[in-house]
């Protein structure tokens, strides 16, 4: 079996700071392999350990963080790594990234599964996986928290969507996106980290792959402006809590949100 996992470094948005004029300070923001991407890698490596498979990791971008993402994928158990070179990778649009990954899959495959992390990322917001499926014209199981190879050429995934739980069985090849609830990704030990240092990363050129990388040109990017009233009551003890509660409920009544 051959599995391809699309990975990307993401900003740790909890640590993102802003300049006075609202510009996000991206250069100072820590970047690492996203939680959902790690879960996707973990699912792939578990399949490798259970059934025997090779796992390849692919990313689009030439920053140090992108090379580290492939090395971290190796430390988690990936066997091969592909990096599509792209300067200024943070503004690439989702369709460009998906096209590049799809081409890597075509050139280095065929793969039984293409996996990606789903949700809770910073900007691409869960469309990249579906786009890869759309470009390759193969089935999509999006947002799994449980994944199983259920037979030769068959994959089953369970997804918790807004209205309930969906279990899909698809024929491979297929695209599967994995949520960060799917598993607890293994933490590489020192030996795995040291071993991953020496492994080759195969660099690829977008032009040679026939992919046109386009970047988003925002007119402006600024801190999300909170338009809320911000009325704060203090409740330091029982008496304070009673007063604050009364004030709050009176305010909510005048807002018309209490029936």
Q: Which of 50, 107, 123, 208 binds another protein (CB under 8 A)?
A: 123
Q: How many residues at the interface with another protein, by CB under 8 A?
A: 96
- Which tokens in the block code for residue 221? 């990017």
Q: Which of 72, 82, 86, 173 binds another protein (CB under 8 A)?
A: 72
Is residue 113 within the footprint of another protein (CB under 8 A)? no
* Residue 2 CA: distances (Å) to CA of 40, 105, 119, 169: 14, 10, 24, 18
Phi, psi of 219 (to 5 degrees): -70, -40
Closest CA to 131 of 169, 105, 155, 164: 105
- Using CB under 8 A, which residues numbered 141 to 200 contact another protein? 141-143, 159-170, 174, 179-181, 184, 187-191, 193-194, 197
48 contacts 55 by C-beta, under 8 angstroms: yes
The alpha carbon torsion through 155, 159, 165, 170 (nearest 10 deg) reads -20
Is the Cβ of residue 47 or residue 143 nearer to another protein in the bound state?
143
- Which tokens in the block code for residue 13? 């948005």
**Beta strands 80-85 and 202-205: pairing type?**
parallel
112 contacts 173 by C-beta, under 8 angstroms: yes
Neighbouring-strand partners of residue 31: 11
* Binding segment (CB under 8 A) for another protein, from list 10-18, 48-56, 81-89, 200-208: 10-18
User: Binding string to another protein for residues 12 to 41, with x set by CB under 8 A, is what?
Assistant: -xx-x-x-----x-------x---------
Element of type H or E holding 150: strand 140-151
Q: For residues 140 and 14, give the distance between their C-alpha atoms in angstroms, rounded to a whole number.
A: 30
Is the Cβ of residue 54 or residue 95 nearer to another protein in the bound state?
95
Shortest Cβ 9–another protein spacing (Å): 13
Shortest Cβ 230–another protein spacing (Å): 7
Is residue 233 within the footprint of another protein (CB under 8 A)? yes
Q: Which of 6, 55, 133, 211 binds another protein (CB under 8 A)?
A: 133
The three-state secondary structure class of 178 is strand
Q: Which of 20, 21, 28, 230 binds another protein (CB under 8 A)?
A: 230
The three-state secondary structure class of 90 is helix
Is residue 249 within the footprint of another protein (CB under 8 A)? yes
Is the Cβ of residue 54 or residue 139 nearer to another protein in the bound state?
139
Shortest Cβ 258–another protein spacing (Å): 7
Shortest Cβ 79–another protein spacing (Å): 19
Residue with tokens 């971290």: 72
Is residue 7 within the footprint of another protein (CB under 8 A)? no
User: Binding string to another protein for residues 44 to 63, with x set by CB under 8 A, is what?
Assistant: --------------------
């Amino acid at each position: 079996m051959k599995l391809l996992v699309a990975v990307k470094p993401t900003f740790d948005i909890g640590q993102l700071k802003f300049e006075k004029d609202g510009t996000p300070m991206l250069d100072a923001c820590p970047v690492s392999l996203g939680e959902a991407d790690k879960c996707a890698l973990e699912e792939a490596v578990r399949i490798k350990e259970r059934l025997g498979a090779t796992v390849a990791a692919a990313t689009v971008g030439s920053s140090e963080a992108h090379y580290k993402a492939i090395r971290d994928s190796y430390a988690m158990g990936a066997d091969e790594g592909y990096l599509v070179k792209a300067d200024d990778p943070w503004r690439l649009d989702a369709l460009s990234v998906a096209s590049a990954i799809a081409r890597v899959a075509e050139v280095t495959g065929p793969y039984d599964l293409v996996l990606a992390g789903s949700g809770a990322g910073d900007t691409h917001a869960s469309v990249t996986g579906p786009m890869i499926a759309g470009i390759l014209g193969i089935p999509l199981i999006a947002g799994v928290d449980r994944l199983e190879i259920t037979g030769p050429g068959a994959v089953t995934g369970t997804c918790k969507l807004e209205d309930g739980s969906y279990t899909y069985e698809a024929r491979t090849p297929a695209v599967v996106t994995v949520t960060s609830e799917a598993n607890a990704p293994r933490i590489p030990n020192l030996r795995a980290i040291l071993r991953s240092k020496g492994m080759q990363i195969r660099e690829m050129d977008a032009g040679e792959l026939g992919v046109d990388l386009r970047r988003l040109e925002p007119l402006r990017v600024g801190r999300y402006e909170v338009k809320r009233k911000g009325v704060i009551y203090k409740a330091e003890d029982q008496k304070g809590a009673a007063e604050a509660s009364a004030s709050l409920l009176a305010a909510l009544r005048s807002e018309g949100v209490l029936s």
